[in-house]
Structures are given as C-alpha cells and as structure tokens.
C-alpha cells in the first residue's frame, strides 16, 4: 500500500510538470531599410510659373494693304464680262466675291476687284515658235498674249478654217518656256464654241495664273480636232437680226445687241450661244465674250441679247459674231 501511494505521488508530479504552459518567444518584426516611395505615375510634374509671369504676345508684322477696288454691277452685266473688263479671270473674280451668286447679281451689287486696273497694254512680241505639223484647217496663227491685272497671262490663238468642212472640239496646249530658269508652264487652250464652222475663223484661249516668267518663248500644239459628220443633227443653225455693234471712243470696249432666232422657223433650240470676238487694227484678237440664252427657244421665237466686250490689248477695230445652237429633243 505504501508503495502504491508513492507511485501515485510520482505520477502526479510528472503530470504537473508536463502540463506546464510555455511562454511563447515573440518573433521580431521585419523592418525594411530606406524610405517608402509612392508608385510613379505617368502625369508629369507641372512646371511652376511665377505669379508675375506674363505670356508674350506675338507682334503682328506690318503689311502694306492696297486700297480695295469695288465695282457696282450695272444692268446687263455678268461676272464673265466684268472679269474681262478688268483683265482678270472669272474664277479670280468669283473667289474674291464668294457670297455673290454670278447668276443672280442685282444692279448695284458691289464686287471686290482684286487688282489694280492697268492702262492699255500691247501684246507680247512675236514669240519663237517650234514648227507645228499640218492641220486639216487652213491656218493656225501665232499666239498673242496679254498680261492680266493679277500677274497672269491671257493667250489667244486664232484658227482659220477656209475649208468646206466643219470641225469640233478643237483644243490644244500652250507651253511657256522660262528662258532664265529653263523651266516651262503648260495650259490647255480651248475654243469658246464647240464647233468651228466652215469658212470661219475662231480663237482658242488659254490663261496662265500668276506668276509668269518675264522672259519666255512659246510653243503651241493642237491636240484634238474632229471633223463634224455630214448631216449631223446635234447642232442647228441660229441667225442674228437687228444687230448693233458700238465701239467706245477710246476703243476699249464695244456694246453688242440684237435678236437671235432659228433659221428654220419650225425648229426649236435647247440652248443658244453667241460668241463675240474683238480684233485690233492688225487683225489680232484682243478680247472675246460669250452670251448664253437663259431659256430654250420656241419655234418662230426670238430672244433679245446685249453684252459689252472689253479689250485686253489695243483698241477694238472690229467685232465678229458667231452662233451655236442645239436643237430641243423631244
């Protein structure tokens, strides 16, 4: 019994020693050396501007402004005639007046003329021409050119057709050779009418925009010329009655008026053109003007017309009129 008590006492002591709770050893925390940095962003750091900073303003450069020239539209005026009067192209005049409708200009409408008017000019000296091949019509005259008011150049090439054959779509190319820089400029030359009738002379016209060389030579070629088939029905004959041509005292302009109708009183026309060509005393073309009917022409009907033609060169000596009409299709 004594031995049993001793055994129980030893067991109790051993169990107590095993149940003793150990005090945990604290784990030291990890400390990163250095200073934490924020994650870099894509936004650049703004540059600080002092509060007394004044942003510099660009200083405009002084530009000499020419006195603008305006023209008051008169009765029977149109954009084409006004442009020729001042020696500029219709495109230049329309560009300078973008708010004006060329077909609905009222009397008194002010147009900005983007040039300084020039005094009477002579045509350029006879240029050196490269020989051209033979053409089906009779004669191709040397080009005559006149400066316009914007630094460009108008060139006319008179085509004589003394044959009994009519031609159409007559067109070509004029090339200006700059004798100083050895470069060249080329422009199309066209006839104001589609048809070059038999036994008729009509000019082709080309315009060179500014700038053009001061010293140049010219070369011209006809690129297209087509014979009009016999019994062609695309065109019909129109005639002018009560024709009146009055050249101004200084020869700078001519006023043309009259009535136009069909040669066949039973025929009607979808469109009618009248081309007026002005010549100086030497027979050189100095200007042209084309009138277009505003409405179709009925059988036996006549339309009155009036236009003013201006010279780009010397005084007008004579004016020739030609017509072109297309029949009205049913």
**Residue 108 pLDDT > 60, yes or no?**
yes
**Residue 52 pLDDT > 60, yes or no?**
no
Overall average pLDDT of the 298-322 stretch: 94
| Higher pLDDT pick, 280 / 107 | 280
Residue 6's pLDDT is: 47
Residue 135's pLDDT is: 66
Overall average pLDDT of the 52-75 stretch: 53
Share of the chain above pLDDT 90, in %: 35
Q: What value does the mean pLDDT of the chain take? A: 76
Could you tell me which CATH class the domain 238-327 is placed in? mainly beta
Least confident of 97-111, 127-141, 143-157, 183-197: 127-141
In the block, which residue shows the tokens 């009765």? 75
Overall average pLDDT of the 301-322 stretch: 94
* The two domains 139-227 and 238-327 share their CATH topology (first three levels equal): yes
What does the H/E/C string look like for the chain?
CHHHHHHHHHHHHHHHHHCCCCCCCCCCCCCCCCCCCCCCCCCCCCCCCCCCCCCCCCCCCCCCCCCCEEEECCCCCCHHHHHHHCCCCHHHHHHHCCCCCHHHCCCCCEEEECCCCCCCCCCCCCCCCCCCCCCCCCEECCCEEEECCCCCEEEEEEEEECCCCCEEEEEEEEEEEECCCCEEEEEEEECCCCEECCCEEEEEEEEECCCCCCCEEEEEEEEEEEECCCCCCCCECEEEEEEEEEECCCCCEEEEEEEEEECCCCCCEEEEEEEEEEECCCCCEEEEEEEECCCCECCCCEEEEEEEEECCCCCCCEEEEEEEEEECCC
**Residue 301 pLDDT > 60, yes or no?**
yes
pTM of the model: 0.64
| Higher pLDDT pick, 214 / 198 | 198
CB count in 10 Å sphere of residue 113: 23
What residue spans define the domains of the chain? 69-113, 139-227, 238-327
Which one is the CATH code of 139-227: 1.10.10, 3.30.300, 2.60.40, 1.10.357? 2.60.40
Overall average pLDDT of the 74-96 stretch: 77
pLDDT in tens, 285-296: 999 999 998 888
Question: Do 315 and 250 meet the contact criterion of CB atoms below 8 Å apart?
Answer: yes
Overall average pLDDT of the 188-195 stretch: 92
Strands 144-147 and 153-161 come out as antiparallel
39 — pLDDT class (breaks 50, 70, 90): very low
Residue 28's pLDDT is: 37
Could you tell me which CATH class the domain 69-113 is placed in? alpha beta
């Amino acid at each position: 019994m004594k031995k049993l008590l001793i055994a129980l006492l030893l067991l109790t002591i051993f169990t107590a020693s095993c149940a003793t709770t150990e005090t945990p050893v604290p784990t030291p925390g990890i400390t990163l050396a250095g200073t934490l940095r924020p994650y870099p962003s894509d936004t650049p750091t703004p540059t600080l501007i002092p509060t007394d900073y004044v942003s510099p303003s660009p200083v405009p450069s002084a530009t000499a402004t020419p006195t603008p020239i305006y023209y008051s539209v008169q009765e029977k005026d149109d954009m084409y005639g006004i442009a020729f009067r001042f020696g500029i192209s219709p495109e230049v005049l329309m560009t300078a007046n973008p708010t004006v409708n060329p077909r609905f200009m009222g009397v008194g409408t002010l147009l900005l003329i983007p040039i300084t008017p020039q005094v009477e000019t002579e045509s350029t000296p006879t240029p050196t021409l490269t020989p051209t091949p033979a053409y089906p019509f009779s004669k191709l005259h040397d080009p005559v050119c006149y400066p316009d008011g914007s630094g460009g150049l108008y060139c006319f090439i008179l085509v004589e057709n003394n044959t009994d054959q009519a031609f159409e779509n007559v067109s070509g190319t004029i090339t200006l050779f700059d004798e100083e820089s050895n470069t060249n400029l080329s422009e199309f030359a066209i006839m104001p009418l589609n048809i070059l009738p038999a036994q008729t002379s009509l000019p082709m016209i080309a315009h060179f925009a500014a700038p053009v060389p001061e010293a140049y030579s010219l070369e011209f070629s006809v690129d297209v010329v087509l014979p009009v088939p016999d019994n062609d029905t695309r065109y019909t004959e129109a005639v002018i009655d009560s024709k009146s041509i009055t050249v101004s005292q200084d020869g700078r302009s001519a006023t043309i008026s009259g009535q136009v109708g069909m040669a066949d009183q039973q025929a009607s026309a979808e469109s009618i053109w009248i081309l007026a060509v002005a010549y100086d005393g030497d027979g050189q073309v100095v200007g042209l003007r084309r009138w277009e009917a505003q409405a179709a022409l009925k059988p036996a009907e006549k339309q009155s017309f009036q236009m003013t033609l201006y010279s780009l060169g010397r005084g007008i000596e004579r004016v020739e009129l030609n017509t072109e009409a297309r029949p009205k299709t049913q």
